[in-house]
Amino acid sequence: MSEKLDWMVARARAGKMSRREFIGRTTAMGVSAALASALFTKAAMAEPKKGGTIRVGLAGGESTNTLDPALAASVVPQVGNAQWGEQLVDMNPDGTIDFRIGEEVSSSPDSKVWTFKIRQGVTFSDGKPVTAEDVMATFKRHTDENAQSGALGIVKGITDMKAEGDKLTLTLDAPSADLPYLLTDYHLIIQPGGGYDNPNAGIGAGPYILETFEPGVRYVLQKNPNHWDPNMGHADTVEILSINDNTARTAALQSGQVHMMNRIDPKIAQLLAGAPGVEVRRAVGRGHYVFIMHVDKAPFDNNDLRTALKLAVKRDEMVEKVLGGLGSVGNDFPINAAYPLFDDTIPQRTYDAAAAKAAYDKSGHDGSPIILRTAPGAFPGAVDAANLFAASAKEAGIPLQIQLEPDDGYWTNVWNVQPFCASYWGGRPTQDQMYSTAYLSTAEWNDTKFKNAKFDELLMKARAELDDTKRKADYSEMAYIVRDEGGLILPMFNEFVAGIRAAEIGGWIDDPNAEMMNYRAPSKCWLV
């Protein structure tokens, strides 16, 4: 609830919410009217301060990085791009659409044809106006196989694009009620002419203008004086440093060399929270850590064995020991309360040695060791988690054996190749997208090799469904199918754990969409 409250305070502060609306919504959450009124006054008075240099220390940058938004795959380029770039639409922390270059959207009744109105008067950092043609060219480039875009899977369903004046019309191959959500993908930064001439130009319409980019080292960005949105870009300069070493990054925050950092090691989060000047901020996200079984390979083609393994995980213990309590237990389907239309009545699966043993016996497994492959880089704490899993499985009489693999080449040689291994998934903005990416029979990244006709049918039906009640019921049914028949063991959802220098940084909101306030912390925050 406090996240939601934080967000509303920030909206009020940004002038995006009236007093009436603020008080109405906060009292609905159980805040007293007097407190709500006081909060609003305080929020409205806490004006963002302008000027200064915000310095950010981030893990997740390599000297192999580029400025091409299509290729962004780690946090430093994601955050860097979000400063100089602007998207058609973005996500608000409460899961609604934040209209950026696209000012408004409408769809045909069958949700197959979508029309965006393009905001007028917005310019790129080279001075040219942002037009519907630029947006269209950007999407076209991402649909081109040669661009190697990480958003290819999202935009390839667009069969026709048309730019007319300030209108952009997209026609889909199949109905999708979620299209605006799909287009919030971080790769889809609008570039002049779509970035065909030079995808690495770093020219965009964001709140900052790129000054210096050294791959894997740093970004320096200066305020864009012509940015259309007064609620972004408060500091004059943003400096992003790539600091991959946990200790150095933490020390940089503690010593004040940077104002904010990402990925605080769960093991030290509690200690760091007590350090002077430092505040640890947590946002419950949609990302999750998983053990995946290929349901088409022995012995995992046996659902009793899969069920036995699912029952043999001590989820609470894993969240406590691997995530340092900074996370929540999973229920073997990839959706949690951070998604719209989540069904919270689905019973939580817990550790049950007797039931696990019974299912294991029923499966008729010959007793040979079941090999679980893991590596330190599969997810943070993957080796510890696998060992906990093996220990609890042993208690239930299941011969689970860990095989340690090297990080190097893990995603090539183990993941999607070996039948049982540790892995992770970042979340997606909607249930449809998460399921379409990894659980649809034809999905390219179906890493559990899960093929279920009923599930596919429900997914297609829900995608076109505009009635939320019916849609929620469909998603609930799908969740049960994955949970009870799938190859996914999902013991925990992780959190985004960031650190800020609380006395120096204003405007921080815990945003569940992605790390560092959905990558936009440097332009949404200000120096106090």
Residues that bind another protein (CB under 8 A): 57, 62-66, 73, 145-146, 148, 150, 152, 200, 212, 214-218, 241-245, 247-249, 251-252, 254-258, 408-409, 411-413, 415-416, 423, 444-445
Burial class (CB in 10 A: 0-12, 13-18, 19+), 106: exposed
Q: Partners of 444 in the beta sheet?
A: none
Angle at 387 (CA atoms; ends 381, 392), nearest 5 degrees: 125
Residue 276, Cβ density class (10 Å: 0-12 exposed, 13-18 middle, ≥19 buried):
exposed
- Closer by beta carbon to another protein, 148 or else 401: 148
CB of 413 to another protein, least distance (A): 5
Give 323-337 as a 3 state SS string: CCCCEEECCCCCCCC
Residue 506 beta carbon to another protein: minimum distance, rounded to whole angstroms: 24
Beta bridge partners of 491: none
Q: Which is nearer to another protein, 24 or 256 (CB)?
A: 256
Residue with tokens 């959190």: 495
CA 53, 54, 56, 61 torsion: positive or negative?
Answer: negative
Q: Among 153, 135, 274, which Cα is nearest to 205's? A: 135
CB of 74 to another protein, least distance (A): 10
- Rounded distance between C-alpha atoms, residue 82 and residue 185, angstroms: 11
Contact status, residue 512 vs residue 285, Cβ threshold 8 Å: yes
CB of 240 to another protein, least distance (A): 11
As measured in angstroms, the least distance from the Cβ of 211 to another protein is: 11
Q: How far is the CB of 222 from another protein (least distance, A)?
A: 14
Residue 400 to residue 388: CA distance in whole angstroms: 11
Q: Which two tokens stand for residue 226?
A: 């012509």
CB nearer to another protein: give 32 or 247: 247
Instruction: Give whichever of 134 and 515 is closer to another protein, judged by the CB atom.
Output: 515
Helices 453-464 and 468-485 pack at an angle, to 10 degrees, of 160
- CB nearer another protein, residue 164 or residue 214: 214
Q: Are 17 and 26 in contact (CB under 8 A)?
A: no
Query: What is the Rg, in whole angstroms, of the alpha carbon atoms belonging to the chain?
Result: 23
Closest CB to another protein among residues 193, 377: 377
Nearer to another protein by Cβ, of 164 and 408: the residue is 408
- Least Å from the CB of residue 132 to another protein: 29
Rounded to the nearest 5 degrees, what angle is found at the Cα of 10, between the Cα atoms of 8 and 16? 80
Q: Least distance (Å) from another protein to the CB of residue 411?
A: 4
Nearest to another protein of 72, 205 (CB atom): 72
Q: Which is nearer to another protein, 38 or 417 (CB)?
A: 417
Q: Which is nearer to another protein, 70 or 232 (CB)?
A: 70
Distances (CA, A) of 101 to 21, 123, 151, 476: 25, 10, 18, 34
Asked whether the bond before 299 is cis by omega within 30 degrees of 0, the reply is yes
Cβ of residue 69: shortest distance to another protein, in angstroms?
A: 13
The residue assigned the tokens 């001590």 is 314
Mapped onto helix, strand or coil, the DSSP state of residue 201 is coil
Question: Closest distance between another protein and the C-beta of residue 442, in Å?
Answer: 12
